[in-house]
């Protein structure tokens, strides 16, 4: 016979044993779980955000925002998204303006119907340290950050992130990004491939390199930058005579190269000032057809030029994101803190990135990744003049030729609904190029629906829709 006290003791003992024998440890991701973002509508998926320390000694930590897939996350792949700059935030640009589940609007968040978490578990990383909420306790790190350091920190981040989310370790992994991420993406993937030769750590499925955000080159400096002249000229942003001197007296790659070396020649200075005068400051170079956000423009100039506010697209989303992410309640909900800076900014104000790294060609890395069996998609928003589609298309075509990859899908249109979503060509079933019609440098921002169709096709490894859909 046992007294009730005895029974309680025995129960407690059994419980302790069950817990320890099953190794029940608290879920390591639990402290990073977001209960609810201020102003957020009710949703069914889980969100997490917080820090992963990448260097204990120098107190360097990277901030991430992780959004599980809307439906059935355990059957969907993991997608890492990186914005470029270098020095701009994947949280502010990627998640809150482009392909994340919400966009800030005044005091609240509104649902993005074409969020990429419809198809994947989306991981947004603010990198390198010094960008957004990511920081280095030792501020000397910020002087001379380069592609190499960024790639290493990103690698360490991913390894440690998997310790927090072990359920994702064996999931198909895609690395995606935009603009200067044309450096980050293949450089990180290359490190992972090298690591995997020693121990299979990463389950790498594919890379989607979008060459479309935040100024700066991507796969090959001269080709990418010099396609700008023709884009300006063919879209009527510069005159015939300016086009002539911009392609003969001083081209854009020469100008940038001289500029970053502090040795700007008189001829390049003259050519660029003529180009700048004609293109005007009041045209968005990232989408030559999009209106500019008046307040953003005004923040950079005192010149007043009243313009109509467009109806469909909120071109002032950047301003909305800045005010949202600087709210104390939002930072608390995100488990974020400001370290060494007084304000969250879209692009870093502390980072001194090694800008000459932009001359490192990464198209050759893309070649070796293809050889390692990793499919690659390069896509271009076709209204972007910063990294125009023509440069990217030339680079992809040239790489296919060099590798002897035959065309498997000839250049053709693809559809989203009843309209042409863009053009595509595929080489050797591995290397794909696609344009997104009417899209800016930040394609998922200006063409969310078309971008989602492209993303879905790439993840599922199926050709882009070849015909009209939605016939009555």
Ligand X SMILES: *[C@@H]1O[C@H](CO)[C@@H](O)[C@H](O)[C@H]1NC(C)=O
Chain residues in the site for ligand X (CB under 6 A): 222, 226, 247, 251, 253-254
**Both structure tokens of 458:** 């790439």
Q: How far is the CB of 187 from ligand X (least distance, A)?
A: 25
Q: How far is the CB of 248 from ligand X (least distance, A)?
A: 8
Nearer to ligand X, 254 or 437 (CB): 254
Q: How far is the CB of 233 from ligand X (least distance, A)?
A: 13
List all residues 6 or more positions away from 291 whose beta carbon is below 8 Å from its beta carbon: 284, 307, 308, 309, 310, 315
Residue showing the smallest CB distance to ligand X in the complex: 251
Q: Do residues 97 and 317 touch, judged by C-beta distance below 8 A?
A: yes
Q: Is 384 a catalytic residue?
A: yes
Which one of the listed residues 147, 287, 382, 384 is annotated catalytic?
Answer: 384
Dist CA 443 CA 43 (whole Å): 25
User: How far out from the chain centre does Cα 191 lie?
Assistant: 19
Q: How far is the CB of 254 from ligand X (least distance, A)?
A: 4
Side-chain-side CA neighbours of 472 within 13 Å: the count stands at 0
Q: How far is the CB of 212 from ligand X (least distance, A)?
A: 21
Which one of the listed residues 441, 446, 451, 457 is annotated catalytic?
Answer: 441
Q: Where are the alpha helices (DSSP H) in 78-220?
A: 147-164, 181-198
Nearer to ligand X, 47 or 251 (CB): 251
Nearer to ligand X, 82 or 395 (CB): 395
Strands (E), 182-283: 204-210
Which one of the listed residues 179, 227, 257, 451 is annotated catalytic?
Answer: 179
Q: How far is the CB of 250 from ligand X (least distance, A)?
A: 7
> Is the backbone peptide bond immediately before 86 cis, with ω within 30 degrees of 0?
yes
Q: How far is the CB of 389 from ligand X (least distance, A)?
A: 16
Nearer to ligand X, 179 or 223 (CB): 223
Angle at the Cα of 54 (from 50 to 55), degrees rounded to 5? 130
Nearer to ligand X, 216 or 253 (CB): 253
**Both structure tokens of 334:** 């995100």
Q: Do residues 211 and 439 touch, judged by C-beta distance below 8 A?
A: no
**Both structure tokens of 449:** 């629906």
Dist CA 158 CA 160 (whole Å): 5
Dist CA 118 CA 228 (whole Å): 34
Q: Where are the alpha helices (DSSP H) in 81-173?
A: 147-164
Q: Is 134 a catalytic residue?
A: no
Q: Which of 28, 65, 29, 142 is nearest to 336 (CA)?
A: 65
Nearer to ligand X, 83 or 251 (CB): 251
Identify the bridge partners of residue 49 per DSSP, sorted by sequence position.
65
Question: How many H helices and E strands in the chain?
Answer: 14, 15
Strands (E), 38-181: 47-55, 60-67, 78-82, 102-105, 108-111, 121-126, 135-136, 143-145, 173-178
Q: Do residues 459 and 119 touch, judged by C-beta distance below 8 A?
A: yes
Q: How far is the CB of 403 from ligand X (least distance, A)?
A: 23
Nearer to ligand X, 164 or 228 (CB): 228
Q: Which of 97, 72, 155, 113 is nearest to 347 (CA)?
A: 97
Nearer to ligand X, 247 or 408 (CB): 247
Q: Which of 83, 80, 112, 85 is nearest to 99 (CA)?
A: 112
Any idea which residues carry the catalytic annotation? 179, 384, 441
């Amino acid at each position: 016979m046992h007294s009730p006290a005895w029974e309680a003791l025995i129960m407690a003992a059994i419980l302790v044993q069950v817990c320890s024998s099953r190794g029940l440890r608290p879920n390591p991701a639990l402290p990073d779980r977001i209960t609810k973002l201020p102003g957020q509508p009710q949703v069914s998926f889980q969100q997490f955000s917080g820090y992963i320390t990448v260097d204990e000694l120098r107190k360097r930590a990277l901030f991430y925002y992780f959004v599980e897939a809307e439906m059935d996350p355990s059957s969907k792949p993991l997608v890492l998204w990186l914005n470029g700059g270098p020095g701009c935030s994947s949280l502010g640009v990627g998640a809150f303006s482009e392909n994340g589940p919400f966009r800030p609007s005044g005091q609240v968040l509104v649902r993005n119907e074409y969020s990429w978490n419809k198809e994947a578990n989306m991981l947004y990383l603010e990198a390198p340290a010094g960008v957004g909420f990511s920081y280095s306790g030792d501020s000397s790190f910020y002087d001379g950050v380069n592609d190499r350091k960024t790639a290493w920190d990103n690698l360490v981040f991913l390894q440690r992130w998997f310790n927090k989310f072990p359920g994702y370790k064996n999931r198909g992994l895609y690395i995606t990004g935009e603009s200067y991420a044309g450096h980050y993406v293949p450089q990180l993937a290359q490190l992972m491939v090298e690591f995997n030769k020693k121990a299979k750590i990463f389950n790498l499925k594919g890379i989607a390199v979008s060459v479309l955000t935040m100024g700066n080159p991507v796969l090959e400096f001269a080709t990418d930058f010099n396609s700008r002249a023709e884009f300006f000229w063919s879209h009527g942003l510069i005159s015939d005579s300016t086009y002539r001197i911009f392609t003969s007296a001083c081209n854009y790659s020469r100008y940038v190269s001289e500029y970053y070396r502090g040795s700007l020649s008189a001829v390049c200075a003259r050519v660029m000032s003529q180009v700048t005068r004609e293109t005007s400051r009041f045209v968005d170079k990232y989408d030559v057809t999009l209106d500019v956000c008046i307040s953003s423009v005004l923040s950079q100039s005192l010149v007043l030029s009243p313009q109509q506010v467009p109806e469909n697209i909120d071109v002032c989303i950047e301003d909305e994101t800045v005010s949202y992410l600087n709210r104390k309640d939002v930072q608390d909900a995100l488990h974020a803190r400001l370290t060494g800076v007084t304000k969250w900014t879209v692009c870093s104000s502390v980072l001194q990135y090694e800008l000459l790294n932009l001359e490192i060609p990464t198209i050759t890395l893309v070649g070796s990744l293809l050889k390692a069996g990793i499919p690659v998609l390069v896509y271009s928003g076709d209204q972007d003049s910063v990294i125009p589609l023509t440069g990217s298309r030339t680079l992809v075509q040239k790489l296919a030729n060099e590798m002897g990859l035959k065309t498997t899908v000839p250049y053709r249109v693809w559809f989203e609904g009843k309209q042409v979503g863009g053009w595509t060509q595929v080489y050797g079933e591995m290397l794909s190029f696609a344009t997104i019609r009417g899209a800016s440098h930040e394609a998922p921002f200006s063409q969310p629906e078309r971008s989602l169709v492209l993303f879905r096709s790439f993840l599922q490894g199926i050709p882009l829709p070849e015909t009209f859909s939605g016939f009555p």
